[in-house]
Amino acid sequence: MLIIASNNKHKISELKSILSGSGFKVITMAEAGFFHNIEETGNTFEENAVLKARSIALQKHTFVFADDSGLEVEALDYRPGVYSARYAGEGASDMDKINKLLHELKGKTNRRARFVSVIAISRPDGSVDTFRGEVHGKIIDAPRGINGFGYDPVFVPEGYDKTFAELEEAIKNSISHRAKSTAKMLKVISSY
């Protein structure tokens, strides 16, 4: 059994889809009886993922994995980065975040960006392994597509002409940053 250390319903859905067929039973924090919010106080994706996974693993005495992820845009000195979810302020909508991003990119020709996912898996004793996945691409001028969440409508991965929000779920879930970090995690935890 693996507990997902997240309250983000979109992230939970995506991770459960990626992990379906892995042989692991995946449950949410709420399903495990953990209802506390875990503040992301780290300066890196790795620090935040470890913080989330370890805090629940030590209390629940089981395997817990956490994903911290975000968008890094080269022309913005790799912002929003670890602040991707709060980029336009606490409680801002996905469209608010996209609008802020597009406003800051106005007039810039360099649109290179990458999505980063770091998964931390914590054992019941608090020891942790981390796995990083990245997908490179570019930011387009206006949102396209209705699938996905976050910055998906403005991110076109390398080798594609569609945004993450336009791609079929199965395709996105096979090439995404989360798919890459999860695949690395599964290789290691199968030996636990």
Half-sphere exposure of 60 (CA within 13 A, CB side): 27
From 63, 48, 52, select the one nearest 7 (Cα to Cα).
52
Q: Where are the alpha helices (DSSP H) in 26-136?
A: 45-60, 94-105
Active site residue 68: yes
- State the Cα–Cα distance between residues 68 and 56, nearest whole angstrom: 15
Reduce the DSSP state of residue 166 to 3 states and report it.
coil
The catalytic position among 67, 68, 94, 152 is: 68
What angle is formed at CA 17 by the lines to CA 141 and CA 157, rounded to 5 degrees?
25
Catalytic residues: 68
